[in-house]
Amino acid sequence: MTALLRPDGRAADALRPLRFQHGIAPHATGSTLIEWGNTRVICAVTVEESVPKWMQVKKVPGGWITAEYSMLPYSTLDRKARDISKLKQDGRSVEIQRLIGRSLRAVLDLEALGPRTLWVDCDVLQADGGTRTASITGAYVALALAMKKLQATGKITTSPVQPIAAVSLGVVGGRPVLDLNYEEDAAASVDMNLVMNGAGEFIELQASGEEATFSGTQLEEMLRLGRSGITELLRRQQEALA
């Protein structure tokens, strides 16, 4: 694919620029601002030294993790009304926070965590495509930072969290590409979100045609691009944590 086929001149297999800024929420146990292209998400983890009531009643050992996701009113070109003003939570936000929560539970040893709850808050400051994948990728970094703090205070001996990253893919102009920005996402005939762990195993794969179909060859190419992108994201996460 030539550079001119993508709005920002990237190759088909190139990620947008990625940067992490830690400590963005000083009252959280661990936090980072993930800046991925023009998408910016604050990911913060708060530790609560108790577990949900249902775990207490059922005497379930270990801890729990739950996630919340929201897009701030000024994160999009047109102001997005807060959920509280509509007296109900946006369906898309519910779907995404469930995705974040179950993805993180797949890489967290809940028994090793001990009887405590991890609250993961992902707040989108600026949206330019890939907010859910940025939230998962940034949430791991915030979790790792929070676990380092728990280790430093002697509450846990080893980190119960394993690496995880997520990336978006799609078919734009008939060709698979990695890490779509908003302009590409709006024009894509196929959308995919890929979540994988540090061992190269799949956690979640969401793919759908937007009034279109996609071939096995296109699927295989998106998976190839996705694996390559995840490998790079995992490397960048470890650099940021080092």
pLDDT digits (tens, 9 = 90+) for 171-203: 999 999 999 999 999 999 999 999 999 999 999
| Helix (H) or strand (E) run with residue 241 in it | helix 216-241
pLDDT the model gives residue 205:
96
- Token pair listed for 161: 């969290």
pLDDT the model gives residue 4:
41
The 3-state secondary structure of 7-64 reads CCCCCCCCCCCEEEEECCCCCCCEEEEEEECCEEEEEEEEEECCCCHHHHHHCCCCCE
3-class DSSP assignment, residue 172: strand
Q: Is the CB of residue 15 less than 8 Å from the CB of residue 232?
A: yes
Q: Is the pTM of this model over 0.95?
A: no
- What the chain holds in terms of domains, given with CATH numbers, is 15-241 (3.30.230.70)
Would residue 107 be called left, alpha or beta, if left means φ above 0 and alpha means ψ between -120 and 50 degrees? alpha
Q: Is the CB of residue 123 less than 8 Å from the CB of residue 70?
A: yes
pLDDT the model gives residue 120:
98
pLDDT tens-place string over residues 82-137: 776 666 677 888 999 999 999 999 999 999 999 999 999 999 999 999 999 999 99
pLDDT tens-place string over residues 29-51: 999 999 999 999 999 999 999 99
Q: Of 3-17, 156-170, 215-229, where does mean pLDDT reach its minimum?
A: 3-17
- Rounded to whole angstroms, the Cα distance separating 132 from 137 reads 9
- Rounded to whole angstroms, the Cα distance separating 129 from 161 reads 27
